[in-house]
Amino acid sequence: MNYEQLKLENQLCFPFYAVSRLIIRAYQEDLDALGITYPQYLVMMVLWENNEQTVNEIAEKLILNTNTVTPLLKRMEAMQLITRTPSKTDQRKVLVALTDSGRAMREQAAEIPFKLMNRLSNDISPVQMEEAAMLKNKLYELIHLLEKAEK
């Protein structure tokens, strides 16, 4: 039997995994300066975009299970970046909102995407940057296809 399908170079998932790890590593210095991890940064971005969301809404936007998000939110609450309060209308729902510290962190974090793009632009041409933007759009299409296939 031929096992070509098991070679790493033939896997669709490995390049995604590798790129994800490398991008997160590129963010690391800036996130360390803020005192947060990449998953916490993602939660903060969701809340900076629209403060006061339920745990389920955050989990859905990040394509994570609530049992993955909940411990993350508990740590962020201990760091005084967010608050978690039961909904007044539905006790089963927990509302997550930014604290003053969480809102203030937005100013510090605003430069992070630009720093990453500047690092990348030193190594790649404007054409490659345009291709990267198109790739991002294609990745969102793939995400939507995979989500649709799960349902």
Q: Which of 10-24, 26-40, 59-73, 121-135 has the lowest mean pLDDT?
A: 121-135
With 90 as the cut, is the pLDDT of residue 42 above it? yes
Architecture of the domain made up of 14-110: Orthogonal Bundle (1.10)
What is the DSSP secondary-structure string of 89-134? S-TT-EEEEE-HHHHHHHHHHTTHHHHHHHHHHTTS-HHHHHHHHH
Average pLDDT over residues 123-135: 78
pTM tops 0.75, yes or no:
yes
